[in-house]
Amino acid sequence: MYMINKLLGRFSTDMGIDLGTSSTLVYVKDKGIVINEPSLTVLNTRTDQIVAVGEEAQKMLGKTPEHLVITRPIEDGVISDFEVTEKMLRYFIEKVHRESWTLVPRPRVVVSIPMDVTEVERKAAEDATIAAGAREVHLIESPMAAAIGARLPIQEPTGHFIVDIGGGTVEIAVVSLGGIVTRRTIRSAGGEMTASVIQYIRENFNLLVGEKTAEQVKIKIGSVIPLREPMEMRVQGRDLFSGLPKELALTDAHVRDAIEKQVRQIINHIKQTIELSPPELVADIYRSGILLTGGGSLLRGLDKRIYNETQIPVALSDDPITAVVRGTGIVLEDIDLLADVLLPPAQDFFLRR
């Protein structure tokens, strides 16, 4: 079996995967990031077949007939639908190998997962990746991958504070000596903010807008502190009274009010994580600061808001959206040296039982 795996490895493209609630990113060894697509699939309920994945599925969001159902197989960072996740992963793996002559791609894959997943959820991630065509799977916790992707010296006896704000979870971790010392996970992140924008517009303006529109509003004019130059965006939706199309002008202040609950929750959890950390590591954190990664960290003024409330320096990672997948890629490039940061196989847990 070892010789077969080694032979297959010669003809496959090893990859790192950030399997996120909102998006899936794929890093290919020696090539960099080659895929950044929404974690969406479209299922034909008449034939029980997947008809679109990723960007193609996103184009259909809110526009499908009854027999086409858009699904998110990843919820809060973990697999909610095993079969659909397997098919989505297979699509991405085959897409990477499409330009090569490999008939049966069997890559080695490093997959990032949330910190607080159960052994069953870890096993599901491993099994889905193997079923999608991988010959070997390694799991790494997302904040650890983000720290590696940001090129932090994680194996040194120094504390580093990571806040990874994704679509389904916010993961807060203190990393030192190649491990996570203090951790905290919030199952309310970018997706919850988008839902809050939809609810806010509905309750205050009697206008119903779709998820795609609310996401654009959050990205284009979202902020967590007042801006020097106010921003405005016009959105279209359905008037709840007349049922007819209607246009509305939203400002950054409206979005700020809509997402304040989630922002306050993130800041409170950051403070609680600091309170639970060993004093020596808190001293390191005060010197090195807080590092923000993930798409949610791009909210205007979030770094300043956190600094104002913690008095700890806050920095935004270079290209925060890709920090985690870049970390999986760095591990992939030197997996023997960084083996200690990987999680043990979930199968070991079941064997011990």
Residues 218, 164: contact at Cβ < 8 Å? Answer: no
Burial level of 130, CB count in 10 A (0-12/13-18/19+)?
Answer: middle
How far is Cα of residue 64 from the mean position of the Cα atoms in its chain?
25
Distance CA 48, CA 50 (A): 7
What is the per-residue DSSP string for 186-215?
ES-SHHHHHHHHHHHHHHHH-EE--HHHHH
Domain boundaries, the chain: 2-145+324-352, 154-188+261-321, 190-258
Per residue, the 3-state secondary structure of 22-52, as one string, reads: CEEEEEECCCEEEEEEECCEEEECCCCEEEE
**Which CATH number among 3.30.365.10, 3.40.228.10, 3.30.870.10, 3.30.420.40 corresponds to the domain 154-188+261-321?**
3.30.420.40
Measured CA to CA, the distance from residue 74 to residue 7 in angstroms comes to 32
Burial 294-314 (b: 16+ CB within 10 A, else e): bbbbbbbbbbebbeeebebeb
Q: Which two tokens stand for residue 351?
A: 């064997």
Q: Which fold has domain 190-258?
A: Actin; Chain A, domain 4 (3.90.640)
pLDDT tens for the chain, residues 1 to 353: 444 444 445 556 889 999 888 999 999 988 899 999 999 999 999 988 889 999 999 999 888 899 999 989 998 888 888 889 999 999 998 888 776 555 556 889 999 999 888 899 899 999 999 998 898 999 999 999 999 999 999 999 999 999 999 988 999 999 999 999 999 999 878 889 999 999 999 999 999 999 999 999 999 999 999 999 999 999 999 999 999 999 999 999 999 999 999 999 999 999 999 999 999 999 999 999 999 999 999 999 999 999 999 999 999 999 999 999 999 999 998 888 888 899 888 755 444 44
Which residues on adjacent β-strands are paired with residue 25? 18, 36
Q: Do the domains 190-258 and 2-145+324-352 match in fold?
A: no
The three-class DSSP label of residue 67 is coil
User: What pTM was estimated for this model as a whole?
Assistant: 0.88
One-letter identity of residue 248: L
CATH architecture entry for 2-145+324-352: 2-Layer Sandwich (3.30)
Please name the residue that has the structure tokens 């950051």: 270
Retrieve residue 238's tokens: 């359905």
